[in-house]
Chains A and B, each alone.
Chain A
Amino acid sequence: MKSRSTVAAICAAVALAVGGMVPTLDAHAQAQPTFNQSTANAGDEVSGVKIPDSKLARDAAQLIRDSEGDFLFQHSTRVYYWAALAGKRKGLAFDPELLYVASMFHDFGLTAGYGQSHLRYEVDGANAARDFLRSHGVSEANSQMVWLAIALHTTNGISANLFPMAALVAEGANMDLVGAGYDDFTVAQRSAVEAAHPHPPQFAEDFMQALYDSLKHRPETTQGTGLADVMAYKDPGFVRRDFSKLMRNSHWATGK
């Protein structure tokens, strides 16, 4: 199963490369060897989890692959696999198609189209996913669930108390970014996902660079969230807002 999907992925990558459609995010992505530019295709199966084979899923994959570049597309694909594997392990009820769309769009707010946005990037991604789902005739209730799952995927300690899809998107993203829950996955599962969609070298640094590139024009949206640490890491001039100080020096304290 593992080798079959890898072969399929390589074939797909070649086909895409021939078609000139492999998008690149940055110099690093361009420098990757061809075999790393695996793409997820509808019906692909890794460790018993399948990419949903539907028009909705194929359209989402296409849109994300075309707009995000390989680095984030591969990350989003792994997020889906971690999320779906965790969901199966925990026996949670979730709709794989909605989980896939949520995973695909969860970092969409980092793309260049949001260079003028002053919303949180998570909200940009949530709005884009909701628009996409509405345009595909998905129910309002389901579209709202995907919205919330994406909007809250970086907010610690909340998603796990919402519905399964929200819990799983956050869990998948945390597993892929920081290895949260790493040991809850079997070695076989990790190897299979990594074989099909490997973490590139320098993943952590490149990911933080992608975050910074997208957030540096809206640093205020990171205050009071974990992303403020990324801003401080990349920009020595960035000042984390201290909420205690803010309260002690507020209009209430100054009377004005």
Chain B
Amino acid sequence: MQTNGKPSVKIPDSKLAREVTELIRDTEDELLFMHSARVYLWGALLGERKGVTFDPELLYVAAMFHDIGLTSIYHESQLRFEVDGANAARDFLRSHRIAEADIDKVWNAVALHTTPGIPEHMHGEIALLQAGAGMDVAGRGFEEFTDEERDAVIAAYPRDPGFANRIIDAFYHGMKHRPGSTFGTFNDDFLAYKDPEFVRTNVCSIILNSNWERRTTR
């Protein structure tokens, strides 16, 4: 990503990066592929600006895989979609003989990219993937980017005006068969938004109706 100004990042140019690009482009639709590329660029731009230590290639692989769990490949999975993506990234990296310690970073980055308040205390790749995803889906940290940076990223990987609703659809289709996997996360908001019949499970009801409570009131 070349901008005329200072902070400029580009997609890593290595065999590993080219292979992951190809794999994700062949597996995901354009919406998710472009989103994933932007997530990398937001994350890398932030990392560069803040002097975060990270390996661009690992961050790129993590960004590419971060939403693969939403694709139809996993339409029978009952795991969290984030874990499906983390496992897929791990398999890919192992087949490329990447060190286990690096694979763990990518696994955690993908698995935790929707978990609030934890990734920022972990390795750079983990923190930056979540920051990049938050910027792209919800504009979190929007002001931390210059107009020039935003324009350059969007020019290279367009984010159309209907993006929010389209990615909410993608979340819904990726998770409607596994509503239990959204319990205690914000992913249940997508199910509730798309499906008026969906009932959020409330943590307090679970706590108040546990075996322990039934036992003591018996």
Contacts and interface: CB of A to CB of B under 8 A. Distances in A.
Interface stretch (B9-17, B24-32, B51-59, B205-213): B205-213
Given A203-B212, A225-B116, A229-B203, A243 B138 contact: yes
A199 B216 contact: yes
B95 interface: no
B80 A208 contact: no
Interface string B47-90: 00000000000000000000000000000000110110011000
A146 B115 CA distance: 18
Contacts of B4: none
B185 A152 contact: no
A6 interface: no
B48 to A, nearest CB: 21
A161 B210 contact: no
A203 B137 contact: no
Interface residues of B, number: 48
Contacts of A224: 114-116, 185-186
Given A178-B210, A243-B190, A122 B118 contact: yes
Contact of B181 (A123, A157, A242): A157
Q: Size range of the interface on A?
A: 35 or more
Nearest to A255: B161
Interface string B138-174: 1110110000000000000001010111011000000
Given A151-B118, A156-B183, A243-B138, A250 B202 contact: no
Nearest to A252: B139
A247 B138 CA distance: 5
A51 to B, nearest CB: 22
B187 to A, nearest CB: 8
Contacts of B189: 242-245
Given A179-B212, A229-B203, 11 more contacts: A156-B185, A161-B79, A176-B212, A199-B212, A204-B210, A204-B212, A242-B192, A244-B190, A247-B138, A251-B139, A252-B139
13 contacts: A123-B118, A151-B121, A156-B185, A161-B111, A178-B212, A203-B213, A224-B185, A233-B202, A233-B204, A244-B189, A247-B164, A247-B167, A250-B164
